[in-house]
């Protein structure tokens, strides 16, 4: 029986339990002291395989037979794909089967495992390391690209703010021009009316003077200005413009502001290759 962990490193003899097991039986996988070796191999000296304790890790341990519990398998049945002991070899259940030396199989298996390990070490592991490096650099790239994207949106926000400022500035300038025109027109109109009023007042004074004058000529040269003074200038009509804000259509603004495109997240089979 194989032991696990620290128990495997102990040097307790499995027969007398003394802490001086210097020997090892590769057939039974048991630790033995020199004294107990004799009794251990007594019943079948050829079967047991005694080596020094320190050599036990270099000693081949054959597999136990599944059918004959006290036997080890020196052969391998090709047809049954299983290790077989000497009893199996001559039994009916393996009649006319082909047997291979288990040590040859062992050697070949080790070669295969060694090749597999070489492949793991020289091809598969470096491939993974390369892929991880690539993904790590892509991770940084993604972060950078998002930073740029957000920067671009921020720039766009500033452009739009500036655009709104420019539009409002231009509209206000336009409105101020309108205001100037209307105020000027009103002032001019008022001035015209005031001038006419003055003319009316002057006519009244002139007329009174004529009325009170004893001079006949004055009355004879009198001209009636009333018809022209009764003709009022055209009435100035002014309409002050008003600002009519339009409904804010968010969908339309979004379309005009810009759209986010090209987002995807998916998995591609066969996207990674073995390093050559």
Is 17 or 117 the residue whose CB approaches Zn ion more closely? 17
Q: Which is nearer to Zn ion, 87 or 160 (CB)?
A: 87
- Would you call 94 helix, strand, or coil by DSSP? helix
CB 95 to Zn ion: min, Å: 8
The smaller minimum CB distance to Zn ion, of residues 62 and 85, is found at: 85
Q: In a 3-state reduction of DSSP, which class is residue 49? A: coil
What is the token pair recorded at 97?
Answer: 């089967």
Output the CA angle 87-40-51, nearest 5 degrees: 85
- 18 closest CA partner among 7, 30, 8, 32: 32
Q: How far is the CB of 23 from Zn ion (least distance, A)?
A: 9
Other Cβ atoms less than 10 A from the Cβ of 162: the count is 10
Which of 56, 68 has the CB closer to Zn ion? Answer: 68
Q: Which is nearer to Zn ion, 100 or 238 (CB)?
A: 100
Whole-number Å distance between alpha carbons of 129 and 21: 46
Binding site for Zn ion (CB under 5 A): 13, 15-16, 25, 27-28, 33, 36, 48, 65, 67-68, 77, 79-80, 85, 87-88, 94, 97
- Integer-rounded Cα Rg, in Å, for the chain is 58
Shortest Å, Cβ 8 to Zn ion: 17
CA distance 273 to 270: 7
Nearest to 80 by CA among 66, 63, 94, 101: 94
Minimum distance of Zn ion from residue 32's CB (angstroms):
6
Closest contact distance (angstroms) between CB of 120 and Zn ion is 33
- Bridge partners, 82 (sequence order): 77
Rounded to a whole number of angstroms, the minimum distance from the CB of residue 10 to Zn ion is 13
For Zn ion, the closer CB: 13 or 62: 13
- Which residue's entry shows tokens 């001209």? 223
Rounded CA-CA distance 51/31 in Å is: 10
The nearer residue to Zn ion, 89 or 206, going by C-beta atoms, is 89
Residues linked to residue 182 through DSSP beta bridges, in sequence order: none
For the bound state, the minimum distance from the C-beta of residue 109 to Zn ion, rounded and expressed in Å, comes to 18
Query: What distance in Å separates the CA atoms of residue 128 and residue 138, rounded to the nearest whole number?
Result: 15
- Taking the least distance from each CB to Zn ion, the nearer of 82 and 203 is 82
In the block, which residue shows the tokens 């005031």?
A: 194
- Nearest approach in angstroms of CB 112 to Zn ion is 22
């Amino acid at each position: 029986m194989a032991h696990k962990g620290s128990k495997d490193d102990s040097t307790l003899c499995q027969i007398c339990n003394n802490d001086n097991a210097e020997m090892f039986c590769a057939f039974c996988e048991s630790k033995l002291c020199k004294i107990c070796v004799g009794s251990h191999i007594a019943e079948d000296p050829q079967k047991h395989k005694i080596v020094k304790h320190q050599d036990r890790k270099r000693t081949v341990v054959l597999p136990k037979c599944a059918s004959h519990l006290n036997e080890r398998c020196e052969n391998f049945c090709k047809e049954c794909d299983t290790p077989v002991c000497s009893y199996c070899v001559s039994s009916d259940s393996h009649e006319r089967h082909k047997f291979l030396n288990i040590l040859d199989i062992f050697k070949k298996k080790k070669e295969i495992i060694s090749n597999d390990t070489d492949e793991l070490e020289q091809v598969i592991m470096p491939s993974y390391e390369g892929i991880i490096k690539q993904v790590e650099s892509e991770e940084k790239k993604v972060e950078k690209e998002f930073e740029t994207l957000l920067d671009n949106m921020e720039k766009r926000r500033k452009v739009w703010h500036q655009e709104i400022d420019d539009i409002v500035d231009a509209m206000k300038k336009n409105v101020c021009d309108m205001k100037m025109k209307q105020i000027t027109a009103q002032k001019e109109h008022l001035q015209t009316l005031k001038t006419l009023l003055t003319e009316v007042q002057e006519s009244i004074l002139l007329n009174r003077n004529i009325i009170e004058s004893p001079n006949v000529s004055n009355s004879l040269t009198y001209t009636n200005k009333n018809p022209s003074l009764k003709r009022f200038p055209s009435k100035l009509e002014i309409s002050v413009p008003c600002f009519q804000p339009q409904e804010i259509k968010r969908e339309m603004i979004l379309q005009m502001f810009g759209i986010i495109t090209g987002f995807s997240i998916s998995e591609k089979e066969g996207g990674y290759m073995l390093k050559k």
